[in-house]
Amino acid sequence: MDTVERITTGPRTLPGGAPAARFTASVLVHEPGRLLVTTTTLGPGEDPYLDDPGGDAAPVFPPACALEAVAQGWAALTGHDGPPVIEAVEFGQPLVVPRDRVVELRLTAVAGAHPSTATVTLRSAYLGDEVERVRARLRHRGAGGVRDRMPVVWHPAATVPVPTALPVPPARHPEQPPLAINTAREVYDTLVRRDRRLHRLLRYREITTSGCVAELAGASAMWWFGAAPPEPLILGDPGLRDALLHAVQAWAPDAVLQPLGVDRIWLAGAGPYEQVTLYALRRERDGDVHRFDLEAVAGGRVVERWTGLRLRLVPAGRPPGPWPAQVFGPYLHRRLRELAGFDAAAVLEPGLRRERRREHTALAVSRLLGARTTVRYRPDGRPELGGGRCVSAAHGGAYTMAVVSGTPVGCDLEPVARREHAEWRRLLGGHLALADLIAAETGEPLSTAATRVWSALESLHKVGVTAVTPLTYARHTPDRWVLLTAGRWRVATCVVALRGAPAELSVAVASAG
């Protein structure tokens, strides 16, 4: 008959002679080779990464720590000490840790058919409720007849490379001039608004409509647990893994990306790594759930790969901005598809010099389509592309915007300017009534609504719609989008604040309905 051990006191040695770790120190049930149940408590006083969530935010147990917990449960049950392959990961609701109380965590590892495989669950108990926070299957590499080869490095197709103020070259188009933008840390803080433990980002190489490429500092920058890890970490530095997840936030600056699950996580080893390059690529979308693949590369080789990371896009419920200009293009692309069903690549390029508008337009379009793209101009000054692609460009404030689509498109960009009612009447004529209606519907100042109408009329002019065509209000959204119609044309307008810009910008994109 197998021995069942029940222990409710402190640390002990686990199977294979390995010392007990953070999440396996107190064992409740142990059936060797079959079942392991452990318990621990979680609180800001015990776990430094929960001490300072920043602002008024409540401490949240990071998914990176949940993965480390299930890996420790697998290692304790099977006796393996190397990083496992983690599959079929399902994350439950985020675990918010009260500031004044501790939360009990219960880890259950059940052996699979193969001796080095297990299914592990992590639950939390608080005020009598027990909730599953994560479930995963883990196995030793090669277990069950599955060969785990080193993945091949891939790079997402860049659409908007983002040079930075740091002394590193841009990832693509090296012949293009560097741009003066905020440092990577300012970008990261603006987008994520998290505490100091997340400051691993060195720079974004690219922020695209399908993902991002980012450089992250490794364990030499900071341990989550102080100057050195106080215990065995099966998966290595959780701070770096958490930064991998949060760096993807640049792809959707207007929302929170909630992890739902992962098909498979493969690790070459536990590190540490001095510097890691993250490649994040969105593969598909199902409603508000987006599926990404992630690769972390260090020293020229893949050290970690996430396949099928599912992220739910949860709107943050706040107006857009203030953002770095480089995140606006991917945001505009996604919101145009969601609101108007219009698929168009977009980029917002800072550093406008008015006497060189055509050069700035060519640079912006090359960010979208490649350095060898040629922009031609019609006699009336409108830009054109070959290959059945349509392009529109606009210049406003210190920025150039370019939009490229497979169907006719017009765009405009205007700084929001404060003017008196009489001056707007002179500029807009009969369209001032539409501005008054938008101001009444949205609650925004007349000058903001009137600038929307002005930019909408300019975007329609670029697709050949005359000013006498009726322009009507359709609807607006909480994140400051107003949708208009003009015959068969639809115009999506938004107002956004950008870092360093003296005024908000009104953006309008016209497309055929």
Render 60-81 in DSSP notation, one character per residue: B--HHHHHHHHHHHHHHHH---
CB atoms within 10 A of CB 359: 13
CA distance 362 to 364: 6
106 DSSP assignment: E
361 Cβ contact partners less than 8 Å away, ≥ 6 residues apart: 375, 383, 393, 395, 400, 402
How much is the pLDDT for 82?
82
Please state the separation of Cα 172 from the chain's center in Å: 21
Q: Would you place residue 170 in the very low, low, confident or very high pLDDT band (cuts 50, 70, 90)? A: very low
How much is the pLDDT for 54?
52
More confident residue, 376 or 225: 376
**Cis peptide, bond prior to residue 272, ω within 30 of zero:** yes
Say if CB 215 and CB 199 are below 8 A apart.
Answer: no
More confident residue, 181 or 395: 395
Backbone phi, psi, residue 29, to 5°? -140, 135
CB atoms within 10 A of CB 408: 14
More confident residue, 208 or 511: 511
Q: Which residue has the tokens 């059936």?
A: 31
Q: What is the mean predicted confidence (pLDDT) over 216-226?
A: 64
More confident residue, 226 or 443: 443
Query: In 3D, which of 170, 70, 168 has the Cα closest to residue 118?
Result: 70
The β-bridge relationship of strands 117-126 and 201-208 is unpaired
178 DSSP assignment: P
Residue ranges of domains in the chain, CATH in brackets: 15-145 (3.10.129.10), 184-315 (3.10.129.120), 325-512 (no CATH)
499 Cβ contact partners less than 8 Å away, ≥ 6 residues apart: 182, 186, 190, 321, 322, 323, 324, 325
Query: In 3D, which of 229, 231, 183, 212 has the Cα closest to residue 294?
Result: 212
Q: Would you place residue 51 in the very low, low, confident or very high pLDDT band (cuts 50, 70, 90)? A: low
CA distance 378 to 303: 50
Query: In 3D, which of 411, 415, 412, 417 has the Cα closest to residue 397?
Result: 415
User: 260-277: per-residue pLDDT in tens?
Assistant: 999 999 998 877 888 899
Report residue 6 as tokens: 């029940």
Say if CB 365 and CB 385 are below 8 A apart.
Answer: yes
Question: Which of 56-65, 163-172, 204-213, 324-333 has the weakest average pLDDT?
Answer: 163-172
Q: Which of 207-211, 230-234, 349-353, 410-414 has the highest mean pLDDT?
A: 410-414
More confident residue, 3 or 142: 142
Helices (H), 341-385: 357-369
Question: Which of 315-319, 454-458, 467-471 has the weakest average pLDDT?
Answer: 315-319
Q: What is the mean predicted confidence (pLDDT) over 487-496?
A: 95
CA distance 396 to 506: 9
More confident residue, 130 or 168: 130
Q: Would you place residue 153 in the very low, low, confident or very high pLDDT band (cuts 50, 70, 90)? A: very low
Q: Which residue has the tokens 């100042």?
A: 445
Q: What is the mean predicted confidence (pLDDT) over 206-222?
A: 77
Query: In 3D, which of 51, 45, 48 has the Cα closest to residue 102?
Result: 45
Beta bridge partners of 352: none
Please state the separation of Cα 324 from the chain's center in Å: 14
Q: Which residue has the tokens 């055929």?
A: 512
Q: Which of 161-165, 239-243, 492-496 has the highest mean pLDDT?
A: 492-496
User: 102-148: per-residue pLDDT in tens?
Assistant: 888 999 999 998 888 999 999 998 666 788 999 999 998 765 444 55
Strand order in the sheet with 399-405: 344-350, 399-405, 390-396
Query: In 3D, which of 187, 169, 167 has the Cα closest to residue 350?
Result: 187
C-alpha distances (whole Å) from 149 to each of 136, 241, 477 are 21, 21, 48
How much is the pLDDT for 81?
78
Q: What is the mean predicted confidence (pLDDT) over 154-164?
A: 38
